[in-house]
Amino acid sequence: MSTDAYVHRIAQGVKGGPLLFVFHGTGGNEMQLLPLAGNLLPGATVVAPRGDVSEMGAARFFRRLAEGRYDMADLARATDKMKGFVQAHIHADAGVRAAGAGEIYGLGYSNGANILASVMLSAPKLFSRAVLMHPLIPFAPGLQAGLAGREVLITAGRHDPICPPDLTLRLEAYFRSQGATTELEWHEGGHELRPSEVEAARRFLSAVPVTGSSR
């Protein structure tokens, strides 16, 4: 798979620092989370792809049949394509990352959280840490032993009309059952991002200090 499989932007970090992939929500683009990512984890190299599916002009990463009803065949297509894109960038960046250094992180919001979660279910070793902001996984994932030892932060709104709290709790329970270290951060609002969950993401991603030198 090519590093150019998606329209994307890269913000270069320090040599030897982590790679952070960020995935926007429906109607966003590669710029939606790029400034936030740089603020959350200074020094990381940030890769931000743009979804290749248009829903009445709004960019998404996979098709859906209705709110909360996914086109599962297209989700499988998109998952394979995104997995290849991430792997290609990890390979391309390997030359400037010291052996054993440079963790691979993921952060996604809404539709972006859903494609990130789907990639983790397919290739659990790709990301050592993942932030899933307002994810909606309406299906029951299969067993995935490779998630053991992965670290996952889920953020959500208790009154989110798009991502029902019971499905958020089910996803949290799923990751725990597979051996992932899982945190859940609630706020009292809906589908919007709030400062408390941004701060939770900052704490979660910066638990390992970024070290390295200029590229």
Give the span between the Cα atoms of 81 and 6, in whole angstroms: 9
Q: Which of 8, 24, 118, 160 is catalytic?
A: 160
Q: Which of 71, 74, 122, 191 is catalytic?
A: 191
- Examine the residue annotation and report whether 118 is marked as an active-site residue of this protein: no
Query: Apex CA 165: angle with CA 34 and CA 113, to 5°?
Result: 25
SS3 of residue 89 by DSSP: helix
Burial readout 127-144 (b: 16 or more C-beta within 10 A, e: otherwise): bebbbbbbbbbeeebeeb
| Residues with Cβ within 8 Å of residue 91, at least 6 apart in sequence | none
SS3 of residue 15 by DSSP: strand
SS3 of residue 206 by DSSP: coil
Give the span between the Cα atoms of 3 and 82, in whole angstroms: 10
| 72-93 helix and 111-122 helix, angle to the nearest 10 degrees | 80
Q: Which of 110, 118, 134, 187 is catalytic?
A: 110
- Examine the residue annotation and report whether 80 is marked as an active-site residue of this protein: no
Rg, Å, the chain Cα set: 16
Pair 22, 34: CB distance under 8 Å: yes
- Examine the residue annotation and report whether 160 is marked as an active-site residue of this protein: yes
- Return the active site residues: 110, 160, 191
